[in-house]
Structure 1
């Protein structure tokens, strides 16, 4: 996940937290898909609406959104926000 996000956005800040342990027994967790919180700051997000930023993150993660990630909380910002 880190490599894909770094390649797509060259972020100034990138923090990925695995919260899967907090969702033990949840349907997605039973399938082996993780729950994550993402904080990312990148100039690539300048001028983008929040929804567009989320869509860009989903696109960058590609197949991981289907195969590895059940839930992803995203805080995406541009520099100086």
Structure 2
């Protein structure tokens, strides 16, 4: 059995889509276009490994870009909550 003290970066795994914290101006633009408040977005906890990796804080909005064989690229948003 191997013992590893190195932390694994989830961003480099092939199955993990691209995550990025939106700048505040872009977050407001997205919310205006969707016609909702941030709490209406699906939530992601600040303790989620990917949220921690990109230094997302409660109140941030994360843009997740997934590759899809059907639509090419799919963008979803998550609202960061405590936890």
| TM, length-normalised to structure 2 | 0.25
Larger Rg: 2
| TM, length-normalised to structure 1 | 0.25
* Bigger relative contact order, structure 1 or 2 (CA pairs below 8 A, ≥6 apart): 1
Structure with the larger helix share? 1
